[in-house]
């Protein structure tokens, strides 16, 4: 399989990439590719790519010899924890660029390489982006952008129904990652990045057999 994963240099993306690379080619898009290079795994192909700038010419060069894509995992996330009135236009723009626009544009770009009947597009959202879930001050930009990603998931599943390309979304609860620690210093999440990476990897490979157009809540908290 040929698998693309964004935000693969740390946290859940990094752990997911390591697991998938045991048996598949994993193209890892990240601004910082050093941790990926240090893995020294021939199945991991690090690609320096900024999702905010989204230079499609880089993708053209890196994927010119790749004929088909079997899995896309839109994992990258951008989080700013600030009161609503203090979030700057640039911070809001960057959150939406990474959390919504980049999955949209990535799937558009690779559409002609997606394999009918087999491709699985997996979007990684947040419980904060699910209607009716608990919301927290400071996350208006992040949660609303992740909410847009959940709706995009449902739309793409319908859009690609005739192509038999499957699209699903995992709305994750708190996971102990660098991004979480930066936004909420001292908070201890119930899941490690490694444990969640195993779940994401398994769902990316097998979830399409059971679900399409679904937003799956992956959290032990309520609501």
Residue boundaries of the structural domains of the chain: 2-218
H/E element holding 59? helix 56-62
* Residue linked to tokens 């990476």: 197
Instruction: Say which of 27, 96, 142, 199 is annotated catalytic.
Output: 142
Query: Measured at the alpha carbon of residue 54, what is the angle toward residues 50 and 58, in degrees to the nearest 5?
Result: 85
Q: What is the CA radius of gyration of the chain?
A: 16
At the top level of CATH, which class does the domain 2-218 belong to?
alpha beta
Query: For residue 144, what are the contacts with CB-CB under 8 A and spacing of at least 6?
Result: 129
Two structure tokens written together for 172: 């994750």
Smallest CA-to-CA distance from 123 within 100, 96, 97 is with 100
142 tagged catalytic: yes
Q: With a threshold of 0.75, does the pTM exceed it?
A: yes
Residue ranges of the chain whose pLDDT lies below 50: none
DSSP percent split of the chain into helix, strand, coil, nearest 5: 45, 20, 35
Helix axes 11-20, 193-206, angle to 10 degrees: 50
């Amino acid at each position: 399989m040929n698998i693309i994963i964004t935000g693969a240099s740390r946290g859940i993306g990094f752990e997911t990439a390591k697991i998938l690379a045991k048996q598949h080619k994993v193209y890892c898009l990240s601004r910082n590719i050093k941790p990926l290079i240090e893995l020294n795994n021939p199945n991991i192909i690090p690609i320096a790519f900024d999702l905010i700038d989204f230079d499609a010419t880089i993708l053209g060069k890196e994927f010119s010899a790749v004929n088909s894509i079997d899995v896309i995992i839109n994992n990258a996330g951008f989080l700013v924890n600030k009161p609503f009135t203090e979030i700057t236009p640039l911070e809001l723009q960057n959150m939406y660029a990474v959390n919504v626009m980049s999955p949209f544009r990535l799937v558009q770009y690779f559409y002609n390489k997606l394999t009918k009947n087999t491709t699985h597009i997996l979007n990684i959202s947040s419980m904060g982006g699910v209607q009716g879930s608990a919301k927290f001050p400071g996350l208006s930009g992040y949660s609303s952008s992740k909410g847009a990603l959940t709706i995009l998931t449902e739309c793409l599943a319908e859009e690609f129904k005739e192509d038999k390309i499957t699209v699903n979304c995992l709305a994750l609860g708190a996971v102990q990652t660098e991004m979480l620690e930066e936004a909420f210093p001292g908070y201890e999440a119930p899941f490690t990045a490694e444990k969640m990476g195993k779940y994401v990897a398994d769902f990316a490979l097998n979830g399409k057999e059971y679900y399409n157009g679904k937003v799956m809540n992956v959290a032990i908290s309520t609501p």
